[in-house]
Amino acid sequence: MHRGGLLLLLALLGTFFSPVAPVSAHASVSSTNPADGSVLQELPEFIEIVFNEKVTVAEGSTRLIDAGGAVTELAERSNEPAGGGLRVRWDLPERTGTGWYAVSWRAVSEDGHGINGSFTFFYGDPADAGGAVRAEKVDDPTAKFITLSHLLRGGTYLSVLLAVGLLAALWALSGPLAVGADPQLGALLRRGSTVFAILGLVLTPLTLLNNALLLNGGSWDSIGIIVQIVLQSSSGAALLVRMSALFGLCTAVLLLAEKGTRVVGALIGAIAAAGVAFSFAMGGHVAVVPWKIAGSIGEILHLLAASVWLGGIPGVAWVVLRRSRLADDVIAEIVERFSKLATVSVVSVFVGGSILASAMFTSPTELFTDRYGLTLLAKFLLVAIVGGIGAYNHFALVPALRRSVRAGGSDATGTSETTAGAADTPDGPVGPVDTGTVRTHLKRSLLAETGMLAAIIVATAALTSGAAPAAGGNHFAGGGHSHLGGGEGDLGLSLALDDFEPTVVRAPFGPGEAVLEILPARAGAENRFLFTAFDANGESRRLSAVTGAFSLARIEIGPLQREFSPQPDGSWLLSTRDLGVEGTWKLDLLVTFDDGSVDAVTLDAIIEPAVRSVP
């Protein structure tokens, strides 16, 4: 295999085994009081959540929701260490009546990312859990800040990637032909690097402020105190380090502009780039995984290499497009020099990604069974496309330009001609070469690579809600945990006659269909969810596990993760009273088939009010 092809393969493998970087980690809940889904004859003295890590819980971020949809903010009672985590207690309202309740909480994990979750319980007779009162829609005050956090994260990734990549790509323009043709070529990349470094400097404090607003439940009240709390977290420290590193990049740009200070500028730029990568390692998954040191080293190396490789591509494309009259040999030299830089980078991507993956996963099978692993595969596909386009440039278009130059196919201004005849050159025999067409293809491929880079940034920012398995991630990241128990005795309700007809929900699923039967689909009732997966022939498919997560977005309940049980006819059953409020609940199902494959489907479960008149 050609050496370049081998290195390209290593690059793709490195991307395959490297996580989406950086991705938000999630602390998880070790236990709750009351237990999730429990039925109580007496109320506990307080509400309690034990986290497996230290978290920050702001005032008003934990709420009690009753069956009518009324929301009560809980007052924090105590906050104390519990092993390596934290035990937080809240006082119950004095007039907490019988019925169904959900506790919805929000916190900031030790690595600075927002986490949330819910759990339910019953007090007294479950028949009192509903009520005829319809829950009014409650707007989530943090929704806009959650959306903004995704935009800020994507913008930060893009600005850092290009600030470092454009600076590194200056080496590709320092060849003798490029310098002789246009000594000002490097100014284009220096200006671009400065613009994106300044953009990163603007987005970083905005991210800090947005994190504070999320922690404060979307309120500006006492925001100064909340900002101080965020600054004291590892995430706050990471943001401060990132700002200092971005200032360093701006300084490096100024020094690189002068011939006498370029060596110092290159040294400061390298240190600043490492500082930017280190800032992400301070607040990402590696802050909570067992192999923190190895994970940090792998992430820093991976991020640096990815920035040089992927962040430098737009710089080369920019120069080629802005300087269209550059001769073929100059363009070939620039692309070839960048290919050498990219070769070192992709090897580093492979090494750093492999180290990082070893710290992020607890089992190789999680790559295909865990949502985090599936997210990684999606990223791999996008990066594989970029690698394929780069290989086409390196192995097809650049040699064609070289052959054209050696055969006299273009003049110093880049005017192209069709070269007839054939001659032997180190790049192979020269046949008819239309250099104009080759240059057009090169420009289009560079634009395509740049566009795919934008797609990678968007995909990474959109998929950062997943958590690595070694960092406490699960299939439904966000704080949900397993069903911890229920009560004993007769939990039946008096139902209307039409409650004996199940509600049926259907959706395409793989080659066939997913069918969910809900009975009685009533708030507060013991609802039975019967799930069956059918193939294209209408036969039920054999499954080995079905896990569901319920959420009701309008009053911020969920995810409530529950396990379905297998039935003799091939269906899977869940009986639960956890849906105590009417509304359209979203049910995310993760289905494992007998052959080990995994698929997911989302269904809407419309839950009617607990009481309604019978005609």
pLDDT band at 387 (very low <50, low <70, confident <90, very high): confident
More confident site: 449 or 543: 543
pLDDT in tens, 585-605: 999 999 999 888 889 999 999
Buried b / exposed e along 113-130 (16+ C-beta atoms within 10 A) = bbbbbbbbbbbbebbbbb
Model confidence at 491, pLDDT cuts 50, 70, 90, reads very low
Tokens of 322: 């802005």
* Average pLDDT value for residue range 544-549: 92
For all residues of the chain together, what is the average pLDDT? 75
Angle at 383 between CA 380 and CA 389, to 5 degrees: 140
User: Residue 102 forms beta bridges with which residues?
Assistant: 65, 120
Higher-pLDDT residue of 282 and 261 is 261
pTM given for the model? 0.55
In what helix (H) or strand (E) does residue 51 lie, and over which residues does it extend?
strand 46-51
**Residue with the larger pLDDT of the pair 15 and 219:** 219
Q: What is the mean pLDDT of residues 366-373?
A: 72
Nearest-angstrom CA–CA distance, 435 and 556: 60
| pLDDT tier, 48 (very low <50, low <70, confident <90, very high otherwise) | very high
Q: Give the confidence band of 501 by pLDDT, cuts at 50, 70, 90.
A: low
pLDDT at 26: 54
At residue 52, the pLDDT reads 84
Mean pLDDT of 551-557: 86
Residue 145 burial (10 A CB sphere; 0-12, 13-18, 19+): buried
- Orientation of helix 185-215 relative to helix 234-256, angle to 10°: 170
One-letter identity of residue 48: E
The region that residue 524 occupies, defined by phi over 0 for left and psi between -120 and 50 for alpha, beta otherwise, is left
Phi, psi of 198 (to 5 degrees): -65, -40
What pLDDT, on a 0 to 100 scale, did the predictor assign at position 615? 37
Given a cut of 90, whether residue 149 has pLDDT beyond it is no
Range of lowest pLDDT (7-11, 224-228, 356-360): 7-11
At 544 the pLDDT is 92
pLDDT at 466 over 80: no
Q: Provide the pLDDT for residue 271.
A: 93
Q: Which residues contact 156 (CB under 8 A, 6 or more apart)?
A: 200, 203, 204, 207
What pLDDT score does 2 carry? Answer: 46
Q: How many CB atoms lie within 10 A of CB 445?
A: 18
Q: What is the CA radius of gyration of the chain?
A: 29
The partner residues of 29 in beta bridges, in order of sequence, read 51
Averaged pLDDT for residues 537-561 = 88
Which of 517, 513, 514, 543 lies closest to 528 in space, CA to CA?
Answer: 517
pLDDT at 321 over 80: no
Whether the CB-CB separation of 169 and 312 falls below 8 Å is answered with yes
Q: Which of 249-258, 343-352, 411-420 has the highest mean pLDDT?
A: 249-258
Tokens standing for residue 110 = 């030790």
Distance CA 239, CA 268 (A): 19
- Strand pairing category for 99-109 and 55-56: antiparallel
Query: Which band of pLDDT confidence, cut at 50, 70 and 90, is reported for residue 477?
Result: very low
Q: Give a three-class secondary structure readout of 347-414.
A: HHHHHHHHHHHHHHCCCCCHHHHCHHHHHHHHHHHHHHHHHHHHHHHHHHHHHHHHHHHHCCCECCCC
**pLDDT (mean) for 41-70:** 85
- Does residue 155 surpass a pLDDT of 80? yes
Asked whether residue 558 carries a pLDDT value surpassing 90, the answer given is: no
Extract the tokens encoding 418.
């069709």
Cα 301 to Cα 332: distance, rounded to the nearest angstrom? 29
Q: Is the pLDDT of residue 487 over 90?
A: no
Count of Cβ atoms closer than 10 Å to residue 457 Cβ: 21
- Tens-place pLDDT, residues 29-40: 888 999 888 888
- Report the C-alpha gap between 266 and 207 in whole angstroms: 29
More confident residue, 185 or 6: 185
Lowest mean pLDDT among 175-184, 456-465, 472-481: 472-481
Assign 545 a pLDDT band (cuts: 50, 70, 90). Answer: very high
- Which range is most confident: 108-117, 147-156, 424-433, 465-474? 147-156
Name the residue with higher pLDDT: 609 or 541: 541
Confidence (pLDDT) at 288: 61
Task: Kindly tell me if the per-residue pLDDT of 192 is higher than 70.
Answer: yes
pLDDT at 428 over 70: no
Of how many residues is the chain composed?
615
> Where does the pLDDT of residue 22 fall: very low under 50, low under 70, confident under 90, or very high at 90 and above?
very low
The answer to whether residue 459 scores a pLDDT higher than 70 is no
